[in-house]
Amino acid sequence: MIRYGAALLCRQSDFLYCVIFMDRCVLLAPAKINLYLEIIGDRPDGYHELAMVMQSVDLCDRVTLSRAGTQDIRLKCEHPLVPSDETNLAYRAAELMCQEFSDAYARFGGFKIKIEKNIPVGAGLAGGSGNAAAVLVGINMLWKLGLTSIDLHLLAAKLGSDIPFCVSGGTALATGRGEQVAPLKDVQNYYAVLAKYQSLSVSTPWAYQTYRKQFESTYVREADDLAARQSRVHSGPMVKAISNQRLEQISALLYNDLEKVVLPEHPKVQELKETLARSPQAKGVMMSGSGPTVFALAESQSDADEIVKAVRSALPDDDLGLWVAPFSSTGIRLVEA
Ligand code: C5P
């Protein structure tokens, strides 16, 4: 539910851009999967140089932002694993906006943030990053800051590597530490089956640090070589398959370097991946981000449902969560409840 002081709305594709007075807004933050994740080298800031192809999928958290009436930032989320203090990225996003736009903060005060989780936590699906992106987009609306998507990307990059992508979503190439986002042609009409053991999560810093320990000798060191590797991905077969909208090709080119460290550590995830791959409807199977979620790509909702059925009967475990999510061409979107 969105409450307006005065209304002037214009619709652009699925987004509603609001240039009005609002005291509350509800946003959907979709999950992402990585169709491609290549670790290229080290960075002086301790992060890794990456080349990734990201895809939004329509499994969304719901983020409600309202004015607190005080200078406080208060965050509420019923999920037991989601903190409600400054260790939550969404809280930090609100703090960042209050610091960056101190006049607006002094004038309008703080926020109540309510997060309804549908995206599994600690899953490699950028759930926390999406919540933070929703807070940035929502505050831009509530305070009528008029920030462009470039402004929002720059703010997002201060908080985390995946957050710029989460702002705009769709299908995109992400380079640098992940924060440099170049949109690609939207991949439409396909489905992802997401599979995750609910009690299992993987720490992203652990995954990258372990990768560094094992594969540092393969890292590209020269700046020219680094740029060449990134542009090779940009003009490479995965991006071509995406331009051609060919699921078979995209599926054959799925890639994630972090599988090399996460799968040996978690044999159950390896087994889950193999089980998904055995389903004839699964066009391709890969781990997303630092895992432990694995996904299968499917051509239709009914194929995706068949995959779910096959995995359920092969692995009858109450701890195993399975979701069907269509590919989505949007990032954060404003909704009316
Ligand atoms: O940026 P974000 O907070 O999402 O990153 C989480 C962790 O993942 C970082 O602390 C770092 O250990 C690792 N990481 C990395 N290189 C990247 C992105 C993340 O090493 N490009």
Architecture of 191-327 per CATH?
2-Layer Sandwich (3.30)
* Residue 4 pLDDT: 33
The first and second tokens of residue 76, run together, are: 């509420």
* Residue 188 pLDDT: 84
Q: Measured in whole angstroms, how far is the alpha carbon of residue 196 from the centre of its chain?
A: 16
* Residue 22 pLDDT: 78
Q: What is the distance in A from the centroid of ligand 1 to the CA of 54?
A: 16
Query: Could you report the per-residue pLDDT of 35-53, keeping only the tens digit for each?
Result: 999 999 999 999 999 999 9
| 212 has a pLDDT exceeding 90 | yes
Give the Å distances, CA to CA, from 203 to 81, 87, 254, 289.
13, 15, 22, 11
Of 53, 134, 51, whose CA–CA distance to 327 is shortest?
Answer: 53
Tell me if domain 2-187+329-336 and domain 191-327 are identical in fold. no
* Main-chain phi, psi angles of 88, to 5 degrees: -85, 130
CA–CA dist 123, 34 (Å, integer)? 12
The first and second tokens of residue 53, run together, are: 């192809």
* Residue 336 pLDDT: 60
Pairing of strands 73-77, 111-116: parallel
* Residue 217 pLDDT: 95
- pLDDT tier, 21 (very low <50, low <70, confident <90, very high otherwise): low
Mutate to test the pocket of ligand 1, among 208, 212, 288 (most ligand atoms within 8 A of CB): 208
CA–CA dist 231, 225 (Å, integer)? 10
- pLDDT tier, 11 (very low <50, low <70, confident <90, very high otherwise): very low
Q: Specify the higher pLDDT residue, 268 or 225.
A: 268
DSSP-derived 3-state class of residue 118: coil
Helices 301-314 and 267-278, interaxial angle, to 10°? 130
- Mean pLDDT (the chain, rounded): 93
For CA atoms 191, 197, 203, 209, the dihedral sign is negative
| 248 has a pLDDT exceeding 70 | yes
Q: What residue type is assigned to position 18 of the chain?
A: C
* Residue 224 pLDDT: 87
Q: Is 178 in the pocket of ligand 1 (CB under 6 A)?
A: yes
* Residue 283 pLDDT: 98
* Residue 133 pLDDT: 98
Of 280, 266, 287, 284, whose CA–CA distance to 309 is shortest?
Answer: 280
Q: Specify the higher pLDDT residue, 222 or 193.
A: 193
Q: What is the distance in A from the centroid of ligand 1 to the CA of 4?
A: 38
| 12 has a pLDDT exceeding 80 | no
% of the chain exceeding 70 in pLDDT: 93
Query: Could you report the per-residue pLDDT of 274-298, keeping only the tens digit for each?
Result: 999 999 999 999 999 999 999 999 9
Query: Could you report the per-residue pLDDT of 134-160, keeping only the tens digit for each?
Result: 999 999 999 999 999 999 999 999 999
* Residue 310 pLDDT: 98
CA–CA dist 177, 169 (Å, integer)? 17
Ligand 1 atom closest to 161 (CA): 1
* Residue 2 pLDDT: 35
Return the domain boundaries, the chain: 2-187+329-336, 191-327
Q: What is the distance in A from the centroid of ligand 1 to the CA of 63?
A: 24
CA–CA dist 159, 115 (Å, integer)? 18
Query: Could you report the per-residue pLDDT of 54-94, keeping only the tens digit for each?
Result: 999 999 999 999 999 899 999 999 999 999 999 999 999 99
Q: Is 211 in the pocket of ligand 1 (CB under 6 A)?
A: no
Beta bridge partners of 16: 11
CB 306 within 8 A of CB 279: yes
Mutate to test the pocket of ligand 1, among 204, 209, 211, 262 (most ligand atoms within 8 A of CB): 204
Give the Å distances, CA to CA, from 45 to 28, 50, 176, 263, 321.
32, 13, 11, 27, 36
% of the chain exceeding 90 in pLDDT: 88
Of 319, 51, 34, 45, whose CA–CA distance to 180 is shortest?
Answer: 51
Question: Tell me, what DSSP letter sits at residue 186?
Answer: P
CB 320 within 8 A of CB 198: yes
Q: What is the distance in A from the centroid of ligand 1 to the CA of 83?
A: 19
Q: Is 45 in the pocket of ligand 1 (CB under 6 A)?
A: no
Question: Where is average pLDDT lowest: 133-137, 170-174, 210-214, 234-238?
Answer: 234-238
Angle at 286 between CA 212 and CA 47, to 5 degrees: 25
* Residue 113 pLDDT: 98
Domain 2-187+329-336, CATH among 3.40.50.970, 3.30.230.10, 1.25.40.340, 1.20.120.330? 3.30.230.10
Q: Which residues are annotated as catalytic?
A: 32, 162
